[in-house]
Amino acid sequence: MDKLKVGDTILVEQAWEDELGQYHDEYAKIRAINKEGKMKLNFEDVSQEVREFLQGAEFDSKDYLKF
């Protein structure tokens, strides 16, 4: 299995929940990965409000595969 790297695209399943209780999967591009494996992601196809919410979330590289 290839390790994830900056620039890879991943699928974040159930990335966020809307007001109706529906979960939404989103694709994200990896912006950074620290030495502990925590990632900073760039969600491009979401609203500004959702993007700001997701920037506060924590994503661990061991939980994802390259898309």
pLDDT in tens, 17-58: 999 999 999 999 999 999 999 999 999 899 999 999 998 899
Task: Report the pLDDT value the prediction gives residue 66, as an integer from 0 to 100.
Answer: 83
SS3 61: helix
Predicted TM-score (pTM) above 0.95: no
Torsion sign (Cα): 15, 13, 63, 6: negative
1 pLDDT more than 70: no
State how far the Cα of 45 lies from the Cα of 59, in Å rounded to an integer: 18
What is the pLDDT averaged over residues 3-30? Answer: 96
Residue 15: which residues within 8 A CB-CB, separation 6 or more?
23, 24, 25, 26, 28, 43, 54, 57
Predicted pLDDT at 65: 85
Residue 24 bridge partners (DSSP):
16
